[in-house]
Chains A and B, each alone.
Chain A
């Protein structure tokens, strides 16, 4: 049985002869009032721009907050932890080490050799003094010797 087949069903004809009951007198008026009320009420669905803009704005804010958190906490030291100062054993002061005297160069040694044994000895002594710990140096006969007292 399908819609295209013409029906000669007596029962169908008998049923079709009856008409649905008519609407009540105030039906159209009541419906018109309800439709007018609906037109005056704000629409349930937000405009397309709002429906699109709000989620995008929310996602952008979340991304910015996440970046700020990463930048301020993940890459820096945790402010909640107490600061620990690591002190090297034997270090007695926080003063920066004195600048070291650069060691003699090959050129200086060649010049010293050319000037004689005295020049070479002086150069060697000076170089040795820079390597030794801070020990008072006693000068004797024009030469500087580390004191062993």
Chain B
């Protein structure tokens, strides 16, 4: 297995999850892909010098995405977490019959505070541990666990409200 295949394996295994994570700060799906590419270019030459390459990769994505959001905020005053100008393109894939539920879940995720939304994304779809999420978000594992618990309660309340006719 040479180097050219290795990075493709990384992208095949983690690419969609990385883009989903970057969507927390990106304007749209294409913007999120650009952020992931930039982060991966930074990550690839440095991957051998870190203990947890996957957590380091997510941390690179987070850093690049936050920097881009700050630049965008400084340039035209948009919010750091793009909730006001939400991209309507789907972030998650599902069967057609579940598309309505998908929209409700994505809308509920967009209502979460940023620190809760990123923890849920990393835990549910990236399958990272609380320790890895703590490394990515520069928080303690206890704080991460608390954010996750509050996020799930908040999501449950939002989704139950959306189910109420």
Annotate A5-32 by CB proximity to B: 1 below 8 A, 0 otherwise.
0000101101111111111100110111
**Counting CB contacts under 8 A, is B94 at the interface?**
yes
Give the one of A2, A27, A38 with max B CB within 10 A. Answer: A27
- What is the CB-to-nearest-CB distance from A25 to chain B, in angstroms, rounded to a whole number? 11
**Counting CB contacts under 8 A, is B8 at the interface?**
yes
Annotate B137-156 by CB proximity to A: 1 below 8 A, 0 otherwise.
00000000100110010011
B152 touches A23 (CB 8 A): no
A31 touches B7 (CB 8 A): yes
Provide the bound-state CA to CA distance between A31 and B12, in Å: 12
B90 touches A21 (CB 8 A): yes
**Counting CB contacts under 8 A, is B45 at the interface?**
yes
Closest residue on chain A to residue B18 by CB atoms: A20
Provide the bound-state CA to CA distance between A9 and B11, in Å: 29
B16 touches A20 (CB 8 A): yes
**Counting CB contacts under 8 A, is A144 at the interface?**
no
Total residue contacts A-B, CB cutoff 8 A: 89
B8 touches A28 (CB 8 A): yes
B155 touches A18 (CB 8 A): no
Would A15 and B105 be within 8 Å (CB), given that A20-B125, A21-B20, A35-B41 are in contact?
yes
Closest residue on chain A to residue B44 by CB atoms: A35
- What is the CB-to-nearest-CB distance from B6 to chain A, in angstroms, rounded to a whole number? 11
Provide the bound-state CA to CA distance between A12 and B152, in Å: 8
A27 touches B93 (CB 8 A): no
- Indicate which residue in B11, B17, B98 contacts A27 across the interface (CB closer than 8 Å): B11
**Counting CB contacts under 8 A, is A3 at the interface?**
yes
- What is the CB-to-nearest-CB distance from B146 to chain A, in angstroms, rounded to a whole number? 9
Additional pairs, 4, CB under 8 Å, beyond known A18-B94, A31-B11: A2-B130, A11-B152, A19-B92, A24-B29
Write 28 A-B pairs (CB below 8 A) sorted by A numbering.
A1-B148, A2-B130, A3-B131, A11-B155, A15-B105, A15-B125, A15-B155, A16-B124, A17-B98, A18-B92, A18-B94, A18-B125, A19-B94, A20-B16, A21-B20, A21-B29, A21-B91, A23-B11, A23-B33, A24-B29, A27-B33, A28-B11, A31-B11, A31-B37, A31-B40, A32-B4, A32-B8, A35-B7
Chain A residues in the interface with B (C-beta under 8 A): 1-3, 9, 11-12, 14-24, 27-28, 30-32, 34-35, 38
